[in-house]
Structure 1
C-alpha cells in the first residue's frame, strides 16, 4: 500500500544518468542518459496496520515519444509513444 509521495527536487523535470547491474560473468554496470524524468520518494505501508514498513523511489519518464511502440507499457495500456508518461 502506498503512503505519502514526495517529489525529489520539488518534482521538477530533470535529466539524469541511470546505472544497472549486469552479471557478465563478473559484475558490470551499464549506464545511460535518461532525459526528462521526475523522481519521487514513496512510503510503503503495511496494508493492515497502515504503518510505514519501507520506502521506495519511482522514476517517471516524461517523454516517451522516441520509444518503441511495442514497449510493454504501451501494449499493456493500449496507448502509443508520446501519449503517456511511464513510471517504474
Structure 2
C-alpha cells in the first residue's frame, strides 16, 4: 500500500480503479521465518487492480487488489466463502494484498511485437 503521509487508522473511500493485470500470475506469500522465505504458487485466473483511495482526512492512498476469477476448485470451507456466504465458482473473490506479498504477472510491452515482461507488484501495508 502506498500512502501519501503517515496517518492514524481511518476509513477510506475508493476513488478509482485501474486494471493492471489479467490472466496468469505468480503470487508469493511471505512466511513466518527469521529470514525472507516465501511460499509461491501460479494461478491462471487472476486479475489485479490498482485501487486509489481517499481517507476521511483526505489522505490519498493506493493499493493492489487481486481477484480470483475461478474459485470452483477451492475448498468450500475456505474463509472467503464463509464470510461472503457464497459457494465455490459462483463469484470472483477479491482481496487487498497482505503485507510483504509479491505478485508477478505478464504485462504486454508492445501490442505490435506481443512481447511480455514479468512485472512485480509488492505490497507493504
User: TM-score, normalised to structure 1's length?
Assistant: 0.84
Is the aligned partner of 1:30 residue 2:39? yes
In structure 2, do the counterparts of structure 1 residues 7 and 25 end up closer, same or farther at CA, with 3 Å as the change threshold?
same
Q: 1:8 aligns with which of 20, 25, 31?
A: 20
Superposition deviation, residue 30 in structure 1: 1.1
Structure 1, 58-67 or 14-23: larger mean CA deviation: 14-23
Please give the alpha-carbon distance, in whole angstroms, between the structure 2 residues aligned to 1:30 and 1:78.
28
RMSD: 1.5
Q: How many residues align structurally? A: 83
Q: Flag structure 1 segments of 5+ consecutive residues without an equivalent.
A: none
Deviation, structure 1 residue 21: 1.1
| Higher helix fraction (1 or 2) | 1
Paired with 1:76 and 1:26, the residues of 2 have a C-alpha distance of 32
List alignment gaps of at least 5 residues for structure 2. Answer: 1-12, 96-125
Aligned mates of 2:88, 2:33 — CA distance in 1: 31
